[in-house]
Amino acid sequence: MKRMSLTSRMSLMFMLAVTAVLTIAGLSFNNLSQHHFKMLDQQALSEKLHSTQRILTGLNSIDQFSDVKPELEALLGAHRDLTAIIIDGDGKLLFADPGSIDVPEEFRTIPNSNVWEWREQEKMFRGVTAQVIVTGQDRPLNVMLIFDVTQHMSFFETLERWFWIGLVISALISAALGWMVASSGMRPIRQVTRVAASMSAKSLKERIPLASVPKELQQMVLSFNAMLSRLDDAFVRLSNFSADIAHELRTPVSNLMTHTEVVLSRKRNIEDYEDNLYSNLDDLKRMSRMIDDMLFLAKSDNGLISHEKKPIDLVEIVEKLQEYYSLLADERGIDLTVSGRGRVRGDVLMLHRAISNLLSNALRYTPEGKCINVDIQQNGTSILVVVENPGESIAPEHLEKLFDRFYRVDPARREGSPSNAGLGLSITRSIIEAHDGKIWCTSSSGKTAFHIELPSADEKKA
Taking the C-alpha atoms of residue 252 and residue 287, their distance in angstroms, rounded to an integer, is 7
Mean pLDDT of 283-294: 76
Taking only the tens place, the pLDDT of each residue in 446-459 is 899 999 999 988 75
First-last CA distance in the chain? 57
User: What is the bridge-based pairing of β-strands 141-148 and 123-132?
Assistant: antiparallel
DSSP 278-326: HHHHHHHHHHHHHHHHHHHHHHHHTT------EEEEHHHHHHHHHHHHH
Q: Is 229 helix (H, G, I), strand (E, B) or coil?
A: helix
Q: At what angle do helices 424-434 and 270-301 cross, to 10 degrees?
A: 40
pLDDT attached to residue 108: 74
Taking only the tens place, the pLDDT of each residue in 172-200 is 999 898 888 888 877 777 777 776 677 67
Cβ–Cβ < 8 Å for 432, 347: no
Cβ contacts of residue 5 below 8 Å, gap of 6+? none
Q: Pick the more confident residue, 244 or 52.
A: 52
Question: pLDDT category, 411, cuts 50, 70, 90?
Answer: low
Q: Which CATH number applies to 215-301: 3.40.50.2300, 1.10.287.130, 1.20.120.160, 3.40.309.10?
A: 1.10.287.130
- Domain 310-461 architecture: 2-Layer Sandwich (3.30)
pLDDT attached to residue 461: 43
pLDDT attached to residue 460: 44
% of the chain exceeding 70 in pLDDT: 87
pLDDT attached to residue 421: 58
On the question of a common fold for 6-170 and 215-301, the answer reads no
Question: pTM for this one?
Answer: 0.49
Taking only the tens place, the pLDDT of each residue in 113-140 is 678 888 887 788 888 888 888 877 778 8
Reference 403, options 383, 384, 422; nearest CA is 422
CATH 3.30.450.20, domain 6-170, yes or no: yes
**CA distances from residue 365 to 177, 202, 318, 424, 443 in whole angstroms, order as listed:** 72, 39, 19, 14, 13
Q: Where are the domains of the chain?
A: 6-170, 215-301, 310-461
pLDDT attached to residue 247: 66
- Whether the per-residue pLDDT at 26 is higher than 80: the answer is yes
Taking only the tens place, the pLDDT of each residue in 374-389 is 999 988 888 999 999 9
